[in-house]
Amino acid sequence: MTIHRIHLAAAVASLIFCAAQPALADNPMPSDQSTTTTTTTVTKHHYVYYPEHDIYFAPESKTYYWQSNGNWISGTTLPPEDMPYVRSRGVSIELDTDRPYERHDYVIAHYKNKLDRKLDRDDDHDHDRDR
């Protein structure tokens, strides 16, 4: 009878070990060497940039961004003196921020200077046509 109990206990221990083995195999790294994965999603925001007076307009939120006394201001309407600057010559841009002034140096380098040169060429072409 004692041998029966020993065999039974050994069989139960074997079953427990076999059942636990897949759970142990799921963690191939020791717990002190775990890794963390961080996923970053970049959201693009659409703006119309008016380079003549450095004004941005976000069509989705209907928000303007402009400078006043060296500070960036935002609102749903521009001051009356800035309204003439947004009637023409806006350029569509996409930025990875919901505050376009955070990328203003980038915008100037990639859009304003190129746009200014293009506008100068267009003006020269218009003057040639008028002659």
Predicted pLDDT of residue 123: 53
Residue boundaries of the structural domains of the chain: 45-130
pLDDT for the residue 87: 85
- Residue 105 identity (one-letter amino acid): D
**What pLDDT is stored for residue 127 in this prediction?**
45
pLDDT < 70 positions in the chain: 1, 4-33, 41, 113-131
Furthest C-alpha separation in the chain: 120
Output the pLDDT for position 128: 46
Taken in order 122, 114, 41, 56, the sign of the CA dihedral is: negative
Which pLDDT belongs to residue 89?
A: 80
pTM (predicted TM-score): 0.58
Q: Which two tokens stand for residue 131?
A: 């002659």
CB atoms within 10 A of CB 59: 10
Burial class (CB in 10 A: 0-12, 13-18, 19+), 55: buried
| pLDDT score, position 14 | 66
Q: Which pLDDT score is estimated for 37?
A: 76
